[in-house]
Amino acid sequence: MNQLEQLRQLNPDRQIRTLDEPEFARFGLVYAQYPLHELDQFMATISIPAGANVYTPTNPAMERLPIIQTIGADVFAGLPIEAGECAGHSTALTAVEYHQGSELNIFSTPVVMVLGKRSQMHAGQFNAAQDAQLFYVPAGTVVEFFSDTLHYSPCEVTTAGFKFVVMLLRGSNQPLPADFHSDNSLIVKQNKFQVVHASRTDKIAQGAQVGVIGELVRITPLQEVEA
């Protein structure tokens, strides 16, 4: 039994699709042509923190890697990009966000992405339990998620956690300027539009709006096997 089959067996109440199923086509695009050896070596130096998530929007050392520059040019067509790492643990979709412009992820570990579309948001609310779709993403996958794809931190496939590269238009996910003003209550950072589940009291205290409604979408991960 492979890893995906084990995960499905452990989560019989969730339909976990693969990226080659036609349902994924409206959420994003998989790139299979890029050699990732150099990036894999770089990501091997980044550890997964225990019981937390760490996200670095821009890592200059990563951004200097030729493969990052190549992918950035192909996907963002000459616009300035940023690339950084996200590593940690999550077993539920506690928020959703989107950006103006695609997000490019390169996964060092297998994950489950819980996805939706902006067209499924109504009055700033997204019923993830009803409308989200779940996709298994193998380690080593390069995926572009379209700008209208609702997403957030992935769910871990194993209790070891997750680790991946996040590439966006430069300036995304950075703090807003002190004099920034907008009447759009979904804006939480530069080029970051987000709503959260009521369970995220930490983000609500920071000003995030409650907009992920319904039962939390959870995934039970596989137990990490000791080497």
Q: Is 80 exceeded by the pLDDT of residue 180?
A: yes
Report the alpha-carbon distance of residue 219 to residue 206 in Å, rounded.
26
CA distances (Å), origin 130, targets 90, 114, 126, 161, 215: 20, 12, 9, 26, 9
Question: Can you list the positions of beta strands (E) in 89-220?
Answer: 95-98, 103-107, 111-117, 126-127, 133-137, 142-145, 149-150, 155-156, 162-169, 187-189, 192-197, 209-213
Residue at 187 is within a domain: no
pLDDT, tens digit (0-9, with 9 covering 90-100), for 2-27: 999 999 999 999 999 999 999 999 99
Residue 227 pLDDT grade (very low, low, confident, very high; cuts 50, 70, 90): very low
Let me know how long the chain is: 227
Residue at 88 is within a domain: yes
The residue range of the domain holding 157 is 3-173
pLDDT, tens digit (0-9, with 9 covering 90-100), for 85-131: 999 999 999 999 999 999 999 999 999 999 999 999 999 999 999 99
Helices (H), 78-185: 128-131
Look up the CATH number of the domain holding residue 97.
2.60.120.10
Both tokens of residue 141?
A: 């996958």
Residue at 115 is within a domain: yes
Opening angle at CA 7, ends 168 and 221, nearest 5: 70
The whole-model pTM stands at 0.96
pLDDT, tens digit (0-9, with 9 covering 90-100), for 156-167: 999 999 999 999
Report the alpha-carbon distance of residue 154 to residue 173 in Å, rounded.
17
Per the structure, how many domains does the chain have? 1
pLDDT, tens digit (0-9, with 9 covering 90-100), for 21-76: 999 999 999 999 999 999 999 999 999 999 889 999 999 999 999 999 999 999 99
Residue at 90 is within a domain: yes
Report the alpha-carbon distance of residue 146 to residue 149 in Å, rounded.
5
